[in-house]
Amino acid sequence: ETGVTQSPTHLIKTRGQQVTLRCSSQSGHNTVSWYQQALGQGPQFIFQYYREEENGRGNFPPRFSGLQFPNYSSELNVNALELDDSALYLCASSPGAGSPYEQYFGPGTRLTVT
């Protein structure tokens, strides 16, 4: 059984550009959540996808968008990158969308915006 994987590991972008981050969920999991973790802070919830539909969103602007595919893998897209978007982006999968399912995190993608 493979765990949650994310790609790429590291990424450097310029302010104003667009970026796509990818996540493969753990086998048997139909729910994917995305988090942003700034340096020295705890992860902040961006949004969650359950069976290809957005199923909850945190306090992030619309330029943060996502997709979930039929195989339950997911993408996070960020448009018009800002310097403050520099962070570790974490993907987590779970076997369901409701409590008390625990979430299993991937290693993250480190995004640097210059």
Partner 1 sequence: DAKTTQPPSMDCAEGRAANLPCNHSTISGNEYVYWYRQIHSQGPQYIIHGLKNNETNEMASLIITEDRKSSTLILPHATLRDTAVYYCIVRVLTGGGNKLTFGTGTQLKVEL
Residues engaged in binding partner 1 (CB under 8 A): 4, 31, 33, 35, 40-45, 48, 50, 55-58, 90, 92, 97-108
Q: Which DSSP string do the residues of 44-104 spell out, in sequence order? A: EEEEEEETTEEEEE-S--TTEEEEE-TTS-EEEEE-S--GGG-EEEEEEEES-SSTT---E
Q: Which is nearer to partner 1, 58 or 75 (CB)?
A: 58
Distance of CA 42 to the CA centre of its chain: 15
Q: Which is nearer to partner 1, 20 or 97 (CB)?
A: 97
**Shortest Å, Cβ 24 to partner 1:** 13
Q: Which is nearer to partner 1, 13 or 58 (CB)?
A: 58
| Strand 109-113 versus strand 5-7 pairing type | unpaired
**Shortest Å, Cβ 108 to partner 1:** 5
